[in-house]
């Protein structure tokens, strides 16, 4: 059982480049989300989705796009990378409206030069 799989684990980009962080889960969870983790800031929600075709903004959505074409996949796109987007990104999934915990991927460490 793979759980939540994120790729890549590490990436270095130049300012202005675009890229997509991949996230896939095999637990048939309706709810998926992306967080960024910065020192002293905890986990901040970027975007989330409550099912295929449904996405919404979180706390810090600017500079990021998401789509949810299938239940399993929830990619995060950086349109034009900026140094302020240097961070560790976590994807997570859970059942909607349930008392089960959220499952996290292993994270993607992204550096923007």
Partner 1 sequence: ILNVEQSPQSLHVQEGDSTNFTCSFPSSNFYALHWYRWETAKSPEALFVMTLNGDEKKKGRISATLNTKEGYSYLYIKGSQPEDSATYLCAFHAGGTSYGKLTFGQGTILTVHP
Q: Does the footprint of partner 1 cover residue 79 (CB under 8 A)?
A: no
Shorter beta-carbon distance to partner 1: residue 17 or 67: 67
What are residue 19's DSSP bridge partners?
Answer: 78
CA-CA-CA-CA dihedral for 42, 103, 4, 15, to nearest 10: -10
Burial of 71 (0-12, 13-18, 19+ CB in 10 A): middle
Among 18, 80, 84, 98, contact with partner 1 (rule: CB under 8 A): 98
Among 25, 33, 55, 87, contact with partner 1 (rule: CB under 8 A): 33
Q: Taking contact as CB under 8 A, which single stretch among the options 13-21, 26-34, 63-71, 74-82 is the one that binds partner 1?
A: 26-34
Q: How far apart are CA 64 and CA 112, in angstroms?
A: 14
Q: State which of positions 34-73 bind partner 1 (CB under 8 A).
A: 35, 40-45, 48, 50, 58-59
Q: How far apart are CA 71 and CA 73, in angstroms?
A: 6
Kindly list the residues in this chain that would bind partner 1 in the complex (CB under 8 A). 30-31, 33, 35, 40-45, 48, 50, 58-59, 90, 94-107
């Amino acid at each position: 059982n793979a759980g939540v799989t994120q790729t890549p684990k590490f990436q270095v980009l130049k300012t202005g480049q675009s890229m997509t962080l991949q996230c896939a889960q095999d637990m048939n969870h309706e709810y998926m989300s992306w967080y960024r983790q910065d020192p002293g800031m905890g986990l901040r929600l970027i975007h989330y989705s409550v099912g295929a075709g449904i996405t919404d903004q979180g706390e810090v959505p600017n500079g990021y796009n998401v789509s949810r074409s299938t239940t399993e996949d929830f990619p995060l796109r950086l349109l034009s990378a900026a140094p302020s987007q240097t961070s560790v990104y976590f994807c997570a999934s859970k059942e909607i409206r349930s008392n089960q915990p959220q499952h996290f991927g292993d994270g993607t460490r992204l550096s923007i030069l």
